[in-house]
Structure 1
Amino acid sequence: MSYPSIADKATSFRRPGLPVGLLAFGAILGAVLAGPLAADGWQWLHWICKPLTTVLIAWTAWRMAPPLSERYRRWIVIGMLFSLVGDIFLMLPQDAFVPGLVAFLFAHVCFIRAVLDDARFAARPWALLVCLAYAALNLWLLWPSLPPALYAPVVVYVVVLACMAGQAASRAWWHAGDALAVPARWAAAGALLFMLSDTLIAWNRFRLAIPWAALWILATYYAALWCLARSIQRVSGAGRHA
């Protein structure tokens, strides 16, 4: 089986980069400008561009070659598809926060499965403990503002999200200095950005209004997905798994 040349690989992320950037800009612009007094067109711009951005990033991830492994790529892309479902739920006019939360919960389970492909769980325990501590601190600060009906789903989601970020960071630490260091760092960056994006969502929704919230939330979210897509590509000298 032949793989793309180094030149081909160098351009593999440049080709979709511009359309992804334009769609992400449209999603952010539509979200920032949409409001009670805004023209309907801004809301539609957000509704169209938000899912399309995720679709294009997922497609880029699926087409990435050579992958670390087919299994790793498959779980990352499935996680992105669950993220797409979450995107759609969270942008609906009615409140579909819990279904969106569940969709993203399944996305994080898929990402955890991916980053367990070549590193045992909590191979570097401190990375996981730091993420769990960060999640616990945020949960403690937000707890008084949470509706009681959301206590259980939010706790489950926060634990899974922290485990996803902690395992990705642990994996990057585990592979530091070996052939998988670069893709593992991309995965860790994506996981931590995902955690940051969700933190911003939680604070903006339950505690305080963050200025330009849509900009920061969507920018970190799309950066997270892009980094996870980048983590699929096997660099020269990296081992290949089934």
Structure 2
Amino acid sequence: MDIMGHDSRRQKKRFAMMKSIGPKLIPFLKTSCIYFVLWLPTSNPSWFSALIKCLPVLSLGFFVLAHSISQGVYRPYAKKVLVALLFSALGDVFLTWGDQGFFIHGMLMFGISHLLYTWAFGLRPLKLWIALTLLSLGVVYYVAVYSYLRGPMIYAMAGYVVVLGMMSWRALARMACSDYERTWGRRCTAAGAVLFVGSDLVLAIDRFCFTVPHARAVVMSTYYGAQMLISLSVAEQSESEMLWKRN
């Protein structure tokens, strides 16, 4: 077996894939820069500020669609990720008016997005120990913030912690497999899930508990990074994952 030749071909294939991915990510990189450069105040929300906020996520939707078209295959995985991005963008719109009573609406949109990501990631391998670990951490977090919550937010936060934990469980479980199956696409989803959890954690602490220095910059940078990493996973789907989808 020509191991060196196999490794060389795999590296060339990866290089060609990254070369194909790069140009499609330019709209996302540009719109992300526009958001941070303009840094529109959140105290005076408008449809323009909502558009600027959700443009990077919509650009990632363009990336998923453009990559699928270029490959000539629009897989179910990519469709679910695309719809999840659209719900995330809608969540961004609601959160723009979060202080005007639409915060729970934004949480609902992101909850649907996490359920779609969970559906896309699948249930194999199961890795229940990851689920139990995340469940324990989620309970600790909810108990810590419970005393700061009021009214419907008590139940909304509990539901959101559950769906965010489910998404994180499936993303991490996909990576916690054999070295042969641990592809860079699965690493992207796992890293994206971790960033998502970190982003939402800082957002919730800053909104409900106490002021976090530079919270908005931390939340938005980790949020955009999480969405980008999950979107990148559509560029690689292992054969074993495709077989799981057929079963």
Which whole-Å CA distance do the structure 1 matches of 2:137 and 2:131 have between them?
A: 10
2:112 to 74, 81, 106: 106
The Cα shift of 1:22 comes to 2.6
Q: What are the within-5 Å matches in structure 2 for residues 68-83 of structure 1?
A: 70-83=75-88
Hey, what does 2:194 align to over in structure 1? 192
Counterpart residue type for residue 118 of structure 2: I
TM-score normalized with structure 1 length: 0.83
Which whole-Å CA distance do the structure 1 matches of 2:66 and 2:59 have between them?
A: 10
Contact 2:25–2:60 (CA under 8 A) maintained in structure 1 = no
Contact 2:203–2:219 (CA under 8 A) maintained in structure 1 = yes
The Cα shift of 1:152 comes to 1.2
Compared CA separation, residues 68 and 192, structure 1 to 2 (3 A): farther
Matched residue SS, 2:213: coil
Which whole-Å CA distance do the structure 2 matches of 1:206 and 1:148 have between them?
A: 13
Hey, what does 1:151 align to over in structure 2? 154
Compared CA separation, residues 137 and 68, structure 1 to 2 (3 A): farther
Contact 2:31–2:55 (CA under 8 A) maintained in structure 1 = yes
Which whole-Å CA distance do the structure 2 matches of 1:13 and 1:83 have between them?
A: 22
Hey, what does 1:26 align to over in structure 2? 34
TM-score normalized with structure 2 length: 0.82
Compared CA separation, residues 189 and 67, structure 1 to 2 (3 A): farther
Counterpart residue type for residue 98 of structure 1: I
1:135 to 100, 113, 138: 138
- How many residue pairs were aligned? 228
Structure 1 runs not aligned, ≥5 long? none
- CA deviations 1:19-68 (Å, max 9, x no partner) are 3223113323444x5166xxx7x977643321111100111022225599
Q: Percent identity?
A: 22
Which whole-Å CA distance do the structure 2 matches of 1:162 and 1:212 have between them?
A: 25
Hey, what does 1:183 align to over in structure 2? 185
Which whole-Å CA distance do the structure 1 matches of 2:94 and 2:189 have between them?
A: 25
Which whole-Å CA distance do the structure 2 matches of 1:26 and 1:137 have between them?
A: 37
Contact 1:186–1:228 (CA under 8 A) maintained in structure 2 = yes
Contact 1:28–1:214 (CA under 8 A) maintained in structure 2 = no
Which whole-Å CA distance do the structure 1 matches of 2:241 and 2:115 have between them?
A: 23
Contact 1:165–1:192 (CA under 8 A) maintained in structure 2 = yes
Structure 2 runs not aligned, ≥5 long? 1-11
Which whole-Å CA distance do the structure 2 matches of 1:59 and 1:35 have between them?
A: 26
Compared CA separation, residues 211 and 16, structure 1 to 2 (3 A): farther
- CA deviations 1:135-171 (Å, max 9, x no partner) are 2221111111011321111111111111110121012
Counterpart residue type for residue 213 of structure 2: P
- CA deviations 1:165-197 (Å, max 9, x no partner) are 0121012102x3124522111111111211111
Asked if residue 227 in structure 1 is aligned to residue 229 in structure 2, the reply is yes
Task: Give the CA RMSD over aligned residues.
Answer: 2.7
Q: What are the within-5 Å matches in structure 2 for residues 40-59 of structure 1?
A: 46-59=49-62
Asked if residue 14 in structure 1 is aligned to residue 14 in structure 2, the reply is no
Which whole-Å CA distance do the structure 2 matches of 1:140 and 1:67 have between them?
A: 48
Asked if residue 97 in structure 1 is aligned to residue 97 in structure 2, the reply is no
Which whole-Å CA distance do the structure 2 matches of 1:68 and 1:178 have between them?
A: 24
Q: Bigger radius of gyration, 1 or 2?
A: 2
